[in-house]
Amino acid sequence: MNYFSSDFKLGILGGGQLGKMLLAETRKFDIQTYVLDPSMDAPCQFGATHFFIGDLMDYDTVYEFGQKVDLLTIEIENVNLDALDTLESEGFEVYPSPKTLRLIQNKGVQKDFYVENQIPTAAFKRFNNLNKLRSEIENGLIEMPFVWKSAQFGYDGNGVKIIRSIDDIENLQNVECIAEQMVPFKNELAVIVARSKSGEVKTYPVVEMEFHPEANQVEYVICPARIDFNIAKKANKIALQVSEAYNHVGLLAVEMFQTHDEGILVNEVAPRPHNSGHYSIEASYTSQFENHLRAILDLPLGNTDSKVAGIMVNLVGAEGYSGKVIYQNIEKIMAIDGVTPHIYGKKETRPFRKMGHVTIVNENMTEARRIAEEVKNTIRVITK
Is 181 assigned to a binding site? yes
Q: Calculate helix-pair angle for 288-296, 17-28, nearest 10 degrees.
A: 70
Contact (CB, 8 A) for 63 and 56: no
Is 28 assigned to a binding site? no
Q: Which has the closest alpha carbon to 277: 265, 289, 264?
A: 289
Is 267 assigned to a binding site? yes
| Strands ordered across the beta sheet of 380-383 | 348-349, 323-328, 380-383
Give Rg (Cα) of the chain: 21
Tell me how crowded residue 127 is: count the other CB atoms within 10 A of its CB: 20
Is 214 assigned to a binding site? no
Is 374 assigned to a binding site? no
Is 182 assigned to a binding site? yes
Q: Calculate helix-pair angle for 98-105, 229-246, nearest 10 degrees.
A: 120
Tell me how crowded residue 360 is: count the other CB atoms within 10 A of its CB: 31
Q: Which has the closest alpha carbon to 265: 235, 237, 225?
A: 235
Is 216 assigned to a binding site? no
142: helix, strand or coil:
coil
CA atoms of 6 and 31, how far apart (whole Å): 7
227 phi-psi bin (left φ>0, alpha ψ -120 to 50, beta other) = beta
- CA 51 to chain CA mean position, Å: 22
Q: Which has the closest alpha carbon to 271: 37, 95, 43?
A: 95
Q: Residue 82: which H helix or E strand, with range?
A: helix 81-89
Is 149 assigned to a binding site? yes
- Enumerate the known binding-site residues for ATP: 107, 149, 180-183, 188, 267-268
Residue positions in the annotated binding site?
Answer: 107, 149, 180-183, 188, 267-268
